[in-house]
Amino acid sequence: MSRECLGFAPMLSARPGELGAADEEALRRHLAGCDACQARLADGAAAAGLVAEGLLAAAARVDLAPLADEVMARVGRRGLAGALRWLARHRAVAAATALAPAALALGLVLYFGGEADVAPLAGEVEVVAEGFAPVVLTGEEGPVVLLGEAAEGS
C-alpha cells in the first residue's frame, strides 16, 4: 500500500456526507486512479452488507412474543416484597420522591398566598344596601354613590 493509499484508507469506510467536500473530491480523484483502493472499497461495502444481513437474520430468529409474559412473571415473583426491599435500601430517595410534590405545592401556596390575583378595574363599583336603592354615577373623576330612594316597606 502506497503512502497515498494509507492516507485515504480511513476515508474508505466513511458514511455518506461524513467527509468534507475537499476530502470527498480528493478521495474521488484517488479512487479514479487506484485499483487497489477501489478493491478495498468494494470489499468494505460487501463486508458491511454481510454484517447487516447477519444482524437482521439474528434479530429475526429471536421470538419476542413471550417477552411481555416473562416480564410480568418476574414482576409477580418480586412483587410488593421486592419493592419494599428496594425502598428500604433507598430510603432517602424514596422519601424525597414522595415529599417533593408536597413540598413544591407548599412552596407555591406560600409564594402566591392563595391570592385570586385578578386586578380590579377602575370604575368597578359594587354597592350593597338594605332599605334603600342606591344610585351610582360614574365619570372620569370617579364614582358618586347616592343613597337613593328608600325601598318600599322600609
Q: Is 139 in the site for another protein (CB under 8 A)?
A: yes
Taking the least distance from each CB to another protein, the nearer of 69 and 130 is 130
**Residue 42 dihedral angles phi and psi, to the nearest 5°:** -65, -40
Identify the residue among 14, 46, 67, 106 touching another protein (CB under 8 A).
106
Ordered DSSP codes for 75-113:
HHHHHHHHHHHHHHHTHHHHHHHHHHHHHHHHHHHHHHT
- Using alpha carbons only, what angle is made at residue 119 by residues 114 and 120, rounded to the nearest 5 degrees? 120
Q: Grid coordinates representing 70? A: 416473562
Q: Is 120 in the site for another protein (CB under 8 A)?
A: yes
What is the distance, to the nearest Å, from the Cα of residue 99 to the centroid of all Cα atoms in its chain?
23
Site for another protein in 29-68 (CB under 8 A): none
Q: How far is the CB of 139 from another protein (least distance, A)?
A: 7
Q: How far is the CB of 114 from another protein (least distance, A)?
A: 12
Q: Is 130 in the site for another protein (CB under 8 A)?
A: yes
Choose the stretch contacting another protein; rule: CB under 8 A; options: 34-42, 50-58, 68-76, 122-130: 122-130
Cα–Cα distance, 39 to 1 (Å, whole number): 12
Q: Grid coordinates representing 148? A: 337613593
Q: How many chain residues interact with another protein (CB under 8 A)?
A: 41
Q: How far is the CB of 21 from another protein (least distance, A)?
A: 53
Cα–Cα distance, 27 to 18 (Å, whole number): 13
- Given the C-alpha cell 416484597, which residue does it identify? 81
Cα–Cα distance, 108 to 102 (Å, whole number): 10
Identify the residue among 122, 151, 152, 153 touching another protein (CB under 8 A).
122
Interface contacts to another protein, rule CB under 8 A: 91-92, 95-96, 99-100, 103-104, 106-111, 113, 119-132, 134, 137, 139-147, 150
